[in-house]
Amino acid sequence: MSDETEKLKSGSVVMDADEMRRAWTRVAHEILERNKGVEGLAVIGILRRGAPLAQRLADAIERIEGKPVPVGQLDISLYRDDFRTYQPRVGTTQIPFDIEGKTLVLVDEVVYTGRTVRAALGALVDLGRPSVTQLAVLIDRGHRELPIRPDYVGKNIPTSRQEFVKVFMTEMDGEDKVVIAKDA
Ligand SMILES: O=P(O)(O)OC[C@H]1O[C@H](OP(=O)(O)OP(=O)(O)O)[C@H](O)[C@@H]1O
Ligand SMILES: O=c1cc[nH]c(=O)[nH]1
pLDDT at 142: 98
Determine, yes or no, domain membership for 3. Answer: no
Is 107 part of a structural domain of the chain? Answer: yes
| Centroid of ligand 1 to alpha carbon of 65 (angstroms) | 30
User: In this structure, are residues 11 and 181 in contact, taking their beta carbons and an 8 Å threshold?
Assistant: yes
Following DSSP, what letter does each residue of 37-102 receive, concatenated?
SSTTEEEEEETTTHHHHHHHHHHHHHHHHSS---EEEE--GGG-TTTTTS----S--B--S--TT-
What is the domain extent for residue 25? 11-182
CATH number of domain containing 25: 3.40.50.2020
Q: Residue 6 falls within a domain, yes or no?
A: no
120 in a domain, yes or no?
A: yes
Alpha carbon of 24 to ligand 2 centroid (Å): 18
Ligand nearest to the CA of 165: 2
Output the pTM of the full model: 0.94
Query: In a structure prediction context, what are the per-residue pLDDT tens digits for the chain, which is 184 residues long?
Result: 566 666 676 789 999 999 999 999 999 999 999 999 999 999 999 999 999 999 999 999 999 999 999 999 999 998 888 876 766 667 899 999 999 999 999 999 999 999 999 999 999 999 999 999 999 999 999 999 999 999 999 999 999 999 999 999 999 999 999 999 987 5
CB of 110 shorter than 6 A to ligand 2: yes
143 in any annotated domain: yes
How many domains does the chain divide into? 1
Sheet holding 152-156, edge to edge: 71-74, 41-46, 103-111, 132-140, 152-156
169 touches ligand 2 (CB under 6 Å):
no
4 within domain boundaries = no
Q: Quick one: which H or E segment has residue 134?
A: strand 132-140
- Report the nearest-CA residue for atom 5 of ligand 2: 110
In a domain, 176, yes or no: yes
In-domain check, residue 165 = yes
Those residues whose C-beta lies under 8 Å from the C-beta of residue 28, and which sit 6 or more positions away, are 57, 60, 61, 64
